[in-house]
Every structure is written in C-alpha cells, then in structure tokens.
C-alpha cells in the first residue's frame, strides 16, 4: 500500500521569508476558512518566530491574533504549529526558564498544538527545556535540527543530537533546513537513520527553495520515511520561500505517494487574498530579490532572507570602502564585486568561528564579522580587528556549544582580551524573572489576561508590549506605512509633520577624521537614544568618550530592541540621527575617532 505524505502550510514563514511583516488579525481571519476549504493541509504554521512581535508593532494584541487564527483551523481538524528559538524563546536574546515554561502553557491554551523548537547551535541542552515545557503543557514537542552543510554537520553529528532529544521525550523531529542548503542525499540518509532507530518518531522537513535543492530534498526525505513536508502557496512561493503545494502534490503523486486533493477554486481564492494583502500594504515591505533563487547561497550557506539585509549593509559601507580604495590608488568596487567578496569572506569566516548553523541570530553574527573583516582588509588592516560583543559571546560559549573547533587565531584573540570560555549550561546564566513581571502588571493596573497570556507577553516582549499598550506602536507603524507608500508613489493615507534631516557627507567627515570608525545601525527601525522611560532621550555629546562595546543607542526593529554598540573606543566626532528618526540597516549614525 502506498504511503501518504502530508502537507503543512507555513503561512507565517511565507511572509517572514519575504519581508518585514506578517498578516494582521483581520487578514488571518479572512483567509483561514479558505485554507480549510483547500482541503490539502493537515497542518498550518500559525505563529511563533517574529509573529508576536509583528502583531505588537501593528498595535494589535498578539494573543487575540493567535486565538482568532487557530480557532477555524482547529474546528476543521487541522493541527497548528508554532516556531520558537529554545533559549531565545520568541525573541532574539535569552529568556529565563520560568518565562519559557509559561509560553507553552499560554500557546496551548490559545489553540496551538505543536511547538517546533530549534537551537541555532543544535545544543541539546538549550532544547531540553523546550521539550519538557511543551510536554508539560500538553503540546506535541517537535524538536528541530538546524540543518547546514559543513565537514562537521554529518549524519552522525545530527543523530547524536537526536539521541538526546528522544531521551528528553520529544514526539517529532523537524529537519529545519533554514537556508535550503542541505544536500538531498545526505538529508535522505539522516531521515532513514532517524526512522530506523526511532520508528515511533514522526519527521517533518522544512526547506526553502533559495539555492534550488528543495524539491529534490523533499523527494529524498519522503522516500526515506518523512511524514510531513512544509509547503507554500502563490504568490508567496519559490524564490527564497518554499515550494508551491501544487508542484509538490504533482511530484509526490508521480513518485507513488498518496497525497490529498487540492480544491483549486479555494487555492485560487487563497492566492487572490494573499495578493490582496500584499497590495493593501504588506507588499511595500517585501524584499524584491526574495522572489529569486540564487546559486550563490550554495557556497556561503546563508539563509535567503539575509540577502536583502546584506545588500543594505554593503550599500551602507560602499562610500567608506571606495574612499579607502581611492586613497590607496586602487579602483573603486561595484556592488556586484563587493557582494562576491563578502560571500567569499563568509566562507572564510564560518569554519574559523566553529561552523555555527547560519540561522537567527548566528547568521547575523557570521555575516557581520565577515563584513567588518572585508572593511578592514580592503583598508589594508588585519582581519578580526572588530568582533562585536554578541559574536564574542557566541565564540566563548555563552549561547551554547559550537559544532566545530575554533581556529587558533580566534582562541588567541579571546586570550588577548582576557576572556574565559564558558562551559556551563547557557540557561543557568538567566535566572527566573516572572515575579518581577507580575509586580509590573500589578503596578500598572494591567490585567494578566486569560490563561496569564498578557503577563507572558509583557515578560517575553516588554518594550514592544509597553509600546502597544501606550499606542506608540500603532502610530509608529502607520508612519512607516506612510513612508513606504510615499516611496512607492502611492497616495498618502496618514498625515504628519515632515522633519527635514540634513544630508550627511560621509566623505567630508572622513577627510576631516581619516581614522574615524563608523557607528552603523544594525537594523531598520526607529532610532532610540535611550530605552529607559525614566530618562530623557538625549544623544551623547560630540567629543564624549566612548568605550569599545558600549551601547551608544538603540533601534526599535520589527523583532525587538536592537542595541547599537561601538565597535571601537574613542571620542565621538560626528552625529547625524535624531531620536525618533527612522533609520535603515547599515546607515551611518556617526563616527568615533
């Protein structure tokens, strides 16, 4: 008898792989019954990742969004699943264990069936609380392997992680091939090893199409025994996103698998609704290159979603790099030339930093280090001259154990800085905090919400939750939408005073201060000179001394507060950004000399 392959619609990830925002509550409620009517999905990815933050940034309650989104799917017998980052929960930085455990209880109560949990370093210690917390809450624990391709990421390596996850009690394993760089044959061998050793464990495969392997990978894992594959629908399929369910159904049918029929009228309606959401406003925040596959991703192994941010980074550095080229009597570089150099530098940096799987936030760490190396080497300076504090924490083991050994030159840098390698459990460094947030709720007079969901939201996303409660978030989003519409030539839908910001002449500053180092925004969003509401939002003063690694300011990005740190010590010689101004990733905010 033929074996069935089941499809999971990654509707959340379709949007996250495309651009900045996911659909709003009203849009999710509109498309949910149409997805049900399609009849081909056994599972739908409804939330997690940046979903909750995005709803807060809209000025909407994410708890209401999850309940409204999951309800019609549940009624139809479709399982829902979320994505969470183990030690980092639903944010970019580590989360105390008591807040992590509350997350599963809240999400189960809101209608989420499956917790897909991944650790960017595949450190099973970080995933232990995820498995135990999900099981305790009555959820299905789907522990994910962060898939990449390197000499250390072998089938044996991954099976060692699987052994621990099964020991902890996980119900399923997901192969989270976040960049789509897993090689099909190897993925097939990995799935067969899991199925042979643990036949009771269900396996699900997640693989975007970025470098072009995904269709072959999905066929290989299915033949090896996988139960589910993640799929997308047009107009958000292919490119850096997932394969379309129509093509997947046709491929599996031809291979002799059983697959559910697709109601094509409903498919076309869902396709039309998704396009309507894009035309309404979501399309303004979609990176155009994310609709295109790129074989360049095979070598560097970066997720497709990083391409847009890399281009923004390079554009931000171009002026300074080419001025240095001219000063050295060398020809200026084009953006394409810089792109190739950056990809090559990522390939150089990645193994020397211990082969961390290139998924959030470690993909950002590797990319940022490669970018700074490129800056330094083009100026005739040594590599590794600048390593930001977050990357250094990864290097010394504060976020988990790296898969591979560090290069001797990196070990020497750690010793030279007087730092020590951390071998303890990463979770131990972040003590429980729920009582603190319970007190905050009481002081603010806020209701803890059904099933403590409002308490959870404050504890997980304090700054975004406060901005949502105050109304600042909604205004900020409307302002961002107005700006995006204006750039696209669309009529304005919101009016507000226009603040003129003087042009910033990078070359002029560098002529006056040739040794100056830039302070650059590492995210797109609103510039905040302080995140302490009790303090005035005042920028540092020209001439003020800044220490290396000091947080100079912050950016309110779509996923949370991003600290902007000084990459060198010195005095501040230039500032060109005001509190509240929207800045782009890579934008130079000032210089330190």
pLDDT digits (tens, 9 = 90+) for 220-246: 999 999 999 999 999 999 998 999 999
Residues 6+ apart with CB under 8 A from 436: none
Task: Indicate if 269 and 190 belong to the same structural domain.
Answer: yes
Tell me the average pLDDT across 15-40: 94
Domain boundary pick from 409, 437, 466 = 409
Q: For residue 569, tell me if it sits in a domain.
A: yes
CA–CA separation, 192 vs 226, rounded Å? Answer: 8
CATH number at residue 23: 3.20.20.70
Instruction: Return the structure tokens found at 326.
Output: 């001219």
Q: Which domain holds residue 152?
A: 6-290
Task: Indicate if 129 and 223 belong to the same structural domain.
Answer: yes
Q: For residue 321, tell me if it sits in a domain.
A: yes
Give 363's pLDDT tier (boundaries 50, 70, 90): confident
Task: Indicate if 63 and 194 belong to the same structural domain.
Answer: yes
pTM value is 0.80
Residue 540 has pLDDT above 90, yes or no: no
Q: For residue 62, tell me if it sits in a domain.
A: yes
Residue 495 has pLDDT above 50, yes or no: no
Residues 6+ apart with CB under 8 A from 294: 210, 211, 240, 304, 307
Tell me the average pLDDT across 569-590: 81
Task: Indicate if 89 and 234 belong to the same structural domain.
Answer: yes
Task: Indicate if 165 and 199 belong to the same structural domain.
Answer: yes
Q: For residue 196, tell me if it sits in a domain.
A: yes
Q: Report which of 232, 173, 186, 172 is spatially closest to residue 207, judged by C-alpha positions.
A: 232
What is the predicted pLDDT for the residue at 534? 41
Give 375's pLDDT tier (boundaries 50, 70, 90): confident
Q: For residue 353, tell me if it sits in a domain.
A: yes
Q: For residue 457, tell me if it sits in a domain.
A: no
Task: Indicate if 337 and 379 belong to the same structural domain.
Answer: yes
What is the predicted pLDDT for the residue at 153? 95
For 71-96, what is each residue's pLDDT tens digit?
Answer: 999 999 999 999 999 999 998 889 99
Domain boundary pick from 290, 324, 351 = 290
The mean of the pLDDT values for the chain is 88
Task: Indicate if 163 and 218 belong to the same structural domain.
Answer: yes
Tell me the average pLDDT across 349-360: 90
Task: Indicate if 265 and 148 belong to the same structural domain.
Answer: yes
Task: Indicate if 258 and 148 belong to the same structural domain.
Answer: yes
Task: Indicate if 255 and 327 belong to the same structural domain.
Answer: no
Residue 215 has pLDDT above 90, yes or no: yes
CA–CA separation, 322 vs 449, rounded Å? Answer: 55
Task: Indicate if 198 and 341 belong to the same structural domain.
Answer: no
CA–CA separation, 372 vs 93, rounded Å? Answer: 22
Q: For residue 475, tell me if it sits in a domain.
A: no
Domain boundary pick from 374, 409, 444 = 409
For 101-146, what is each residue's pLDDT tens digit?
Answer: 999 999 999 999 999 999 999 999 999 999 999 999 999 999 999 9
Residue 261 CB neighbours (<10 A): 9
CATH number at residue 573: 2.40.50.100
Task: Indicate if 257 and 339 belong to the same structural domain.
Answer: no
Q: How many domains does the chain have?
A: 3
Tell me the average pLDDT across 189-209: 97
Residue 590 has pLDDT above 70, yes or no: yes
Q: For residue 203, tell me if it sits in a domain.
A: yes
């Amino acid at each position: 008898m033929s074996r069935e392959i089941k499809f999971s619609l990654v509707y959340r990830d379709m949007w996250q792989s495309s651009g900045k925002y996911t659909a709003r509550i009203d849009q999710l409620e509109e498309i949910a019954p149409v997805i049900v009517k399609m009849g081909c999905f056994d599972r739908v990815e409804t939330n997690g990742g940046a979903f909750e933050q995005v709803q807060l940034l809209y000025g909407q309650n994410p708890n209401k969004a999850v309940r409204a989104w999951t309800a019609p799917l549940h009624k139809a017998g479709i399982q829902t699943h979320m994505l969470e980052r183990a030690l980092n929960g639903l944010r970019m930085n580590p989360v105390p264990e008591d807040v992590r455990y509350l997350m599963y209880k809240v999400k189960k109560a809101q209608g989420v069936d499956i917790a897909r949990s991944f650790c960017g370093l595949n450190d099973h210690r970080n995933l232990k609380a995820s498995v135990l917390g999900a099981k305790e809450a009555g959820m299905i624990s789907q522990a994910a392997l962060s898939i990449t391709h390197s000499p250390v990421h072998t089938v044996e390596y991954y099976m060692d992680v699987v052994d621990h996850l099964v020991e902890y009690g996980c119900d399923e394993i997901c192969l989270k091939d976040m960049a789509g760089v897993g090689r099909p044959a190897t993925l097939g061998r990995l799935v067969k090893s899991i199925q042979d050793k643990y036949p009771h464990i269900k396996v699900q495969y997640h693989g975007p199409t970025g470098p072009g392997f995904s269709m072959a990978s999905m066929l290989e894992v299915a033949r090896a025994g996988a139960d589910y594959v993640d799929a997308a629908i047009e107009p958000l399929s292919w490119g850096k996103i997932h394969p379309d369910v129509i093509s997947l159904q046709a491929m599996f049918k031809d291979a002799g698998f059983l697959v559910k029929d697709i109601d094509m009228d409903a498919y076309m309606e869902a396709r039309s609704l998704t396009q309507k959401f894009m035309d309404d406003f979501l399309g303004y925040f979609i990176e155009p290159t994310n609709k295109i596959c790129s074989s360049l991703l095979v070598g560097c192994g970066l997720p497709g979603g990083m391409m847009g941010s890399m281009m923004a980074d390079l554009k931000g550095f171009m002026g300074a790099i080419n001025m240095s080229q001219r000063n050295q009597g060398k020809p200026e570089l084009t953006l394409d030339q810089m792109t190739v150099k950056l990809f090559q530098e990522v390939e150089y940096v990645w193994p020397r930093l211990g082969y961390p799987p290139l998924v959030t936030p470690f993909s950002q760490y590797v990319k940022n280090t490669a970018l700074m190396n490129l800056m330094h080497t083009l100026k005739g300076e040594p590599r590794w001259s600048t390593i930001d504090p977050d990357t250094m924490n990864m290097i010394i083991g504060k976020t988990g154990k790296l898969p591979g050994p560090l290069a001797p030159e990196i070990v020497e840098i750690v010793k030279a800085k007087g730092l020590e390698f951390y071998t303890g459990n990463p979770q131990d460094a972040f003590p429980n905090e729920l009582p603190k947030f319970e007190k905050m709720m009481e002081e603010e007079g806020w209701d803890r919400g059904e099933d403590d969901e409002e308490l959870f939201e404050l504890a997980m996303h304090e700054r975004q939750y406060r901005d949502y409660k105050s109304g600042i978030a909604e205004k900020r989003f409307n302002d961002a939408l107005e700006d995006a519409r204006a750039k696209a030539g669309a009529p304005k839908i919101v009016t507000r005073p226009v603040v003129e910001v003087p042009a910033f002449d990078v070359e002029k500053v560098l002529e006056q201060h040739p040794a100056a180092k830039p302070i650059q925004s590492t995210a797109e969003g609103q510039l905040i000179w302080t995140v302490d509401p009790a303090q005035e939002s005042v920028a540092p003063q020209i001439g003020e001394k800044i220490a290396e690694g000091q947080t100079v300011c912050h950016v309110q990005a779509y996923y949370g507060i991003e600290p902007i740190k000084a990459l060198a010590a010195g005095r501040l010689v230039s500032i060109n950004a005001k509190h509240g101004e929207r800045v782009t990733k890579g934008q130079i905010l000032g210089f330190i000399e």
